[in-house]
Amino acid sequence: MSTTYLIKNASVLGGDPQDLLLRDGIIADAGSLGPVPGTVVIDAGGLIALPGLVDLHTHLREPGREDAETVDTGTRAAALGGFTAVHAMANTDPVADTAGVVEQVWRLGREAGHCDVFPVGAVTVGLKGERLAELGAMADSAARVRVFSDDGKCVSDANLMRRALEYVKAFDGVVAQHAQEPRLTEGAQMNEGELSGLLGLAGWPAVAEEAIIARDILLAAHTKSRLHVCHVSTAGSVELIRWAKSKGHPVTAEVTPHHLILTEDLAKSYDPIYKVNPPLRSAADVQALREGLADGTIDAVATDHAPHPQEDKDCEWAAAAMGMLGLETALSVVQQTMVDSGLMGWADVADRMSVRPAAIGQVDDRHGRPLAIGEPANVVLVDPKAKRTVDRTALASLSQNTPYQGMELPGAVVATFLRGTATVLDGKLA
């Protein structure tokens, strides 16, 4: 018999306090509930209840780079961050481009049990951008893959991208594009602008992202297939997606927490902890991304959690790996930049971090559900008044490459429930 939880006085999506009874994996009762015998009571006064968060973009590094992260450690980090589901990116070693690899990752996720792991399948064999991987086999596998991405690499060949978009229609899949025109970004190190010129770091121009997004929007419209744009980072990209949606084209998009809060100015330190792909952009881009997320142009916040071992960051900028941790800080960054700034309410946070990502990933039968009677008991309780100082050595992730070291962030995940089972209680792994 699993534990039954009675959550008292939680502010569901930031609304009036109510009680939630989590029993047998579902929300068995809700409203103003009296004492229920045999339950563990959680006083959730002052806490916000949200549906368990869903990350569309997580690098769990297993198989291949277990020195940076494993499915177990990565999903521990996810649970602590309030996630009940993550989509594990395909750029592992070997690449997740066969049914065998995606089933392995999926199984490792089930065994770890901290959150659901939905493997993302590679679009092309070995992420090489030459020929389609066996997308159908991955879709039909036990992992039921629906999101396909060469993330880290762009499917830059227009014809291959067209075929991928067409092919995934057979199983209602979506192609998640890492939009980066390769020729315009050879050797690129940081956002191209005044600062890159002064620092002598090769520029990663906005047009390299926007040119691919524009092309892919037109391909999605032409093929009538679903395009998802990973980690949108420029104001121009937001404009393009806004235009696509105004035309009714089947396009969705995500933004990372770090692109909502950090700017390229951090590169002045030449500290590669701030080196990431796409790069940190200007303050104007950050503002446009916040507005795009607030008005729904950008559908989802996705972490692009990218663990790297210390030696890959403790070096000169050009030699360093690109990427930063995100799972354990995502909700706090969203609270600071979107909620505390007045741009969004908690219901919007639930929409962008759970409901819409679940729909994009085709897992909305299980995740991103309303907190209502009969629904799966995937719930996160957040204390919005808490403050915490990020300590990279205290993170559950195997790696420590957080850009927020020493920074005070608002909000804390108090508890996370996956199908009624606590994965996190009192802010610690249960």
Partner 1 sequence: MKRHLLSTADLSRDDAVLILDTAEEIARLAARPIKKLPTLRGRTVVNLFFEDSTRTRTSFEVAAKRLSADVINFSAKGSSVSKGESLKDTALTLEAMGADAVVVRHSASGAAYRLATAGWSSSHVVNAGDGTHEHPTQALLDAFTMRRHLGGFEERRVTVVGDVLHSRVARSNVHLLATLGARVTLAAPPTLLPVGVESWPCDVSYDLDAAIPGSDAIMMLRVQRERMNGGFFPTQREYSRRYGLDAQRMAKLPDKAIVMHPGPMVRGMEISAAVADSDRSVIVEQVANGVSVRMAVLYLLLSGSESAIGSDEGQAQNQHQNTEPKGAAA
Q: Which of 201, 232, 334, 339 binds partner 1 (CB under 8 A)?
A: 201
Restricting to residues 236-265, which ones interact with partner 1 according to CB under 8 A? 261-263, 265
Q: Which of 29, 36, 317, 366 binds partner 1 (CB under 8 A)?
A: 317
Q: Is 195 one of the binding residues for partner 1 (CB under 8 A)?
A: yes
Cis peptide before 278 (omega within 30 of 0): yes
For 236, the token pair is 């121009």
Give which of 42, 120, 30 is closest to 369, Cα–Cα.
Answer: 30
In the complex, minimum distance from the CB of residue 169 to partner 1, in angstroms, rounded to a whole number? 39
- Distances in Å between the Cα of 175 and the Cα atoms of 124, 236, 301 are 11, 21, 17
In the complex, minimum distance from the CB of residue 311 to partner 1, in angstroms, rounded to a whole number? 7
Restricting to residues 392-411, which ones interact with partner 1 according to CB under 8 A? 403-404, 407
In the complex, minimum distance from the CB of residue 140 to partner 1, in angstroms, rounded to a whole number? 43
Q: Is 198 one of the binding residues for partner 1 (CB under 8 A)?
A: yes
Owner of token pair 């995934």: 168
Q: Is 329 one of the binding residues for partner 1 (CB under 8 A)?
A: no
Nearest residue (CB) to partner 1, 142 versus 319: 319
Q: 178 a known binding residue?
A: yes
Q: 258 a known binding residue?
A: no
Owner of token pair 């006085």: 9
For 5, the token pair is 């939880």
In the complex, minimum distance from the CB of residue 290 to partner 1, in angstroms, rounded to a whole number? 7
Q: Is 205 one of the binding residues for partner 1 (CB under 8 A)?
A: yes
Q: Is 203 one of the binding residues for partner 1 (CB under 8 A)?
A: yes
Q: Is 290 one of the binding residues for partner 1 (CB under 8 A)?
A: yes
CA atoms within 13 A on the CB side of 75: 27
Q: 114 a known binding residue?
A: no
In the complex, minimum distance from the CB of residue 183 to partner 1, in angstroms, rounded to a whole number? 10
For 371, the token pair is 């907190």
Q: 352 a known binding residue?
A: no
Decide: residue 187, CB within 10 A, 0-12 exposed, 13-18 middle, 19+ buried: exposed
Nearest residue (CB) to partner 1, 180 versus 329: 329
Q: Is 196 one of the binding residues for partner 1 (CB under 8 A)?
A: yes
Q: Is 315 one of the binding residues for partner 1 (CB under 8 A)?
A: yes
In the complex, minimum distance from the CB of residue 233 to partner 1, in angstroms, rounded to a whole number? 12
Number of CB atoms found within 10 A of residue 130's CB:
10
Q: Is 316 one of the binding residues for partner 1 (CB under 8 A)?
A: yes
Nearest residue (CB) to partner 1, 315 versus 373: 315
In the complex, minimum distance from the CB of residue 399 to partner 1, in angstroms, rounded to a whole number? 17
Nearest residue (CB) to partner 1, 91 versus 189: 189
Owner of token pair 């303050």: 283
Number of CB atoms found within 10 A of residue 394's CB:
10
Rounded Cα–Cα distance for residues 430 and 422 (Å): 6
Phi, psi (deg, nearest 5) at residue 282 = -85, 170
- Distances in Å between the Cα of 346 and the Cα atoms of 54, 60, 255, 340, 343 are 15, 28, 17, 10, 10
Q: 228 a known binding residue?
A: no
Q: Which of 31, 35, 38, 200 binds partner 1 (CB under 8 A)?
A: 200
Q: 305 a known binding residue?
A: no
Give which of 264, 265, 259 is closest to 291, Cα–Cα.
Answer: 259
3-class DSSP string for 11-48: EECCCCEEEEEEECCEEEEEECCCCCCCCEEEECCCCE
| 172 residue type, one letter | D
Nearest residue (CB) to partner 1, 201 versus 380: 201
Q: Is 311 one of the binding residues for partner 1 (CB under 8 A)?
A: yes
Nearest residue (CB) to partner 1, 140 versus 194: 194
Residues whose CB falls within 8 Å of the CB of residue 23, separated by 6 or more in sequence, listed in order:
4, 5, 29, 39, 377, 420
Give the active site residues. 304
Nearest residue (CB) to partner 1, 95 versus 286: 286
**283-294 and 235-246 helices cross at what angle (nearest 10)?**
30
Residues forming the site for partner 1 (CB under 8 A): 189, 192-203, 205, 261-263, 265-266, 268-271, 283, 286-287, 290, 311, 314-319, 336-337, 341, 403-404, 407
Q: Annotated binding site, which residues?
A: 57, 59-61, 91, 151, 178, 231, 277, 304, 308
Q: Annotated binding site for substrate, which residues?
A: 59-61, 91, 277, 308
Q: Annotated binding site for Zn(2+), which residues?
A: 57, 59, 151, 178, 231, 304
